[in-house]
Structure 1
Amino acid sequence: MKLSHSFIFAAVIFLMMSSCKKETQDNQKTNDVSSISTEETLKNSQPLSEEFKAYWFANAAEITSYTLEQARYGEIREGSAVLVFVTEPFLKDEQVKADLSSSTNIPVLKLNATKNFYTGIYPYSIMQSVFYPLANNQHALKISCSVQEWCGHVYTQLNNRSEFEVTSHSYFEGEADENFNLGKTILESELWTQLRINPESLPIGDLEIIPSFEFLRLRHVPFKAYAASAELLSGTYKITYPDLNRSLSINFNPQFPFNITSWEESFISGYGDNAKALTTKATQLKSIKSDYWNKTTNDDFKLRESLGLN
């Protein structure tokens, strides 16, 4: 069905690009939803199609669940993964979500990617966040990654300023507290959001790429760019890292909205005699559009069931 110009205009004017709510001092929830005006959207981003605006500026996030087969310690673990894509206004200097609408805000497509699985008795919880501007061929403005398990937790954050500013904290010796800068280059994590905006803009050929923070932290690999090659086929984007014995294939719908249907990541898992080449796989289970930040009551739990998440 063709959308009218008035509908699109209203959708953009009342665009609510929010993630979650803040708590006030009296412990009451307030709706932390901001809007981006038509003027600032056009000023601070690439030209966006009416189709794009209708899908992404509708006061709802796209939430997709996946069955997960995760390689860890030389074995495949069953679990779940969730990709949450949502647009929101971003403050360039502070590098956080904007609370108020302003012509200086940068519209971004945010990805919150989570994984949950068990290694024997104890659980793993991984989350990566990407804030990518709604413009082609620009780097993410901010990326963060946290990994929690019973041995401890690690956190890494990259801020895109004059250089890539990286802060990392870990309970492992040699990784405890680090602050360093890197020259700007392609970030693997940003490619997932770039794909959702325009897969034809994805870089191909021989490249230098900083791998996902999840991989770098779990494998205790030096945090830097590595030689890689990338190819874009119909519905598949593949990256290969020869020096890391690793490859990543992201499968997606070649038609808008370019939703990600599955992915595979092959690498050496385990240590010593237990090390072997294994492949992590994630396959789409369910997908919904929802203003999840407003779905906080016990009655809203059924939405998790609709995603196949228990």
Structure 2
Amino acid sequence: MKKILFILPVLAFVTSCQDQQVSTTSSTDPATGAQPQFSSYSAAGGGATSLDKYWYQGKAEISHYALQQNRYKDIHEGEAVMIFVTEDFLTDKQVKNDQYQNPNSIPILKNNIVCKFPTGIYDYSMMTSVFTPVNTQKYPRTMKVTASSQEWCGHTFMQINDRDKGYAVSLRSYFEMEGDQDNVVAHTLLEDELFNRIRMNPSGLPSGKIKMLPGTMVARLMHKEFQPLDAEISVTPYDGREFTGSALQVCRVVYPTLDRTLEIVFEKEAPFIIAGWKDTYLSMFDKKMKSTIARRTNTLLDAYWSHNALSDQPMRKALGLTTFVK
């Protein structure tokens, strides 16, 4: 029992699923008619093979996280939801393949992250969507990222598209210093795609000093220019006590110029469940180091798009959601 969670935070996407009455998961490669194989591109051994069975069962993986969000001068209690699902994706239009009439279609792993938290009397709702091809040998780059942020002052929207000459970045913002922007940045690893890369093959993550485009959510919260930054990345066993799970590993990213450290904690064995994340950086408002922390509480595998009736609303409790629960 599980799913409605995605439904409230992501109304536009749910409407698409509901109106067309189709599964969002992909079961075959539209170009070849064969099931796309995670095992061809993921970690060797039985763990890799199990990824095929895990991701192609007609369900999404939905995880709820208890959120402590660094914003203004305080740490605010909230909740986050992470939804992983396989879909068929058009490489030319860079949208979900709904009609199955376009041959330029490939299987991707999509990750939607929804974060909601109050700041005093008003609240924030932030969402990021990341679309990463399953066949990382033929398509080594994430093809698209979208991010939106809504709060009572105004809202922003950001989109990143993979193009031949780099990533095309569009920003539309309520804030004067940001406004409307369109530019192209060099192809570099995206922080936002790290979650997908971990789920597909954590042993394939880079290590050492690299260039990286910071996460779209934190870029908006910090109001930073979106450009590749120097970063250092590592994957090591997790020996802390803030997260729980089986044989945990941590992907750590350090940005020296931002005084920022991101830690993504995940289970070592397939399907590499995300136990949570910790993002530490200087608050813009009091210049003190604070951490955003998200800890996993519940995970469900379900075709959530088929549960959109009032009678399905109690399922939110099974997911661990605290809002609109009956």
CA distance in 2, matches of 1:93, 1:41: 21
Deviation at 1:259? 0.4
CA distance in 2, matches of 1:130, 1:194: 11
CA distance in 1, matches of 2:183, 2:34: 33
Query: Which among 210, 214, 217 is matched to residue 211 of structure 1?
Result: 214
Contact persistence 2:199–2:272 (CA under 8 A): yes
* Distance 1:284-1:248 versus aligned 2 partners, 3 A rule: same
Task: Give the corresponding residue for 1:139.
Answer: 141
Task: Give the corresponding residue for 2:228.
Answer: 225
CA distance in 1, matches of 2:54, 2:317: 23
Letter in 2 for 1:232: V
CA distance in 2, matches of 1:44, 1:91: 18
Contact persistence 2:68–2:76 (CA under 8 A): yes
Contact persistence 1:140–1:160 (CA under 8 A): yes
CA distance in 2, matches of 1:282, 1:290: 22
CA distance in 1, matches of 2:52, 2:37: 14
CA distance in 1, matches of 2:221, 2:300: 30
CA distance in 2, matches of 1:229, 1:247: 10
Task: Give the secondary structure class of the aligned counterpart of 1:22.
Answer: helix
Task: Give the corresponding residue for 1:245.
Answer: 259
Deviates more, 1:39-48 or 1:166-175: 39-48
Listed as ranges, the matches of 1:111-126 within 5 Å are: 111-126=111-126
CA distance in 2, matches of 1:190, 1:77: 25
Identity of aligned residues (%): 36
CA distance in 2, matches of 1:36, 1:307: 25
Residues 106-164 of structure 1: CA deviation (Å, up to 9, x unaligned): 11000000100011000000000000011337221000110000000000000001121
* Distance 1:29-1:285 versus aligned 2 partners, 3 A rule: same
Task: Give the corresponding residue for 2:71.
Answer: 72
Letter in 2 for 1:268: L
Letter in 1 for 2:22: D
CA distance in 2, matches of 1:157, 1:95: 11
Residues 168-190 of structure 1: CA deviation (Å, up to 9, x unaligned): 00011121100101110110001
Residues 280-305 of structure 1: CA deviation (Å, up to 9, x unaligned): 11111100001111110011112211
The Cα RMSD (Å) is 1.9
TM-score under structure 2 normalisation? 0.83
Deviation at 1:30? 3.0
Letter in 2 for 1:121: I
Contact persistence 1:237–1:251 (CA under 8 A): yes
Relative CO higher for 1 or 2, CA cutoff 8 Å, sep ≥ 6? 2
Matching of residue 279 in structure 1 with residue 291 in structure 2: yes
Task: Give the corresponding residue for 2:204.
Answer: 201
Unaligned stretches of 5+ residues in structure 1: 1-18
Query: Which among 22, 32, 35 is matched to residue 16 of structure 2?
Result: 22
Task: Give the secondary structure class of the aligned counterpart of 2:192.
Answer: helix
TM-score under structure 1 normalisation? 0.87
Task: Give the secondary structure class of the aligned counterpart of 2:293.
Answer: strand
Task: Give the secondary structure class of the aligned counterpart of 1:156.
Answer: strand
Matched positions, count: 286
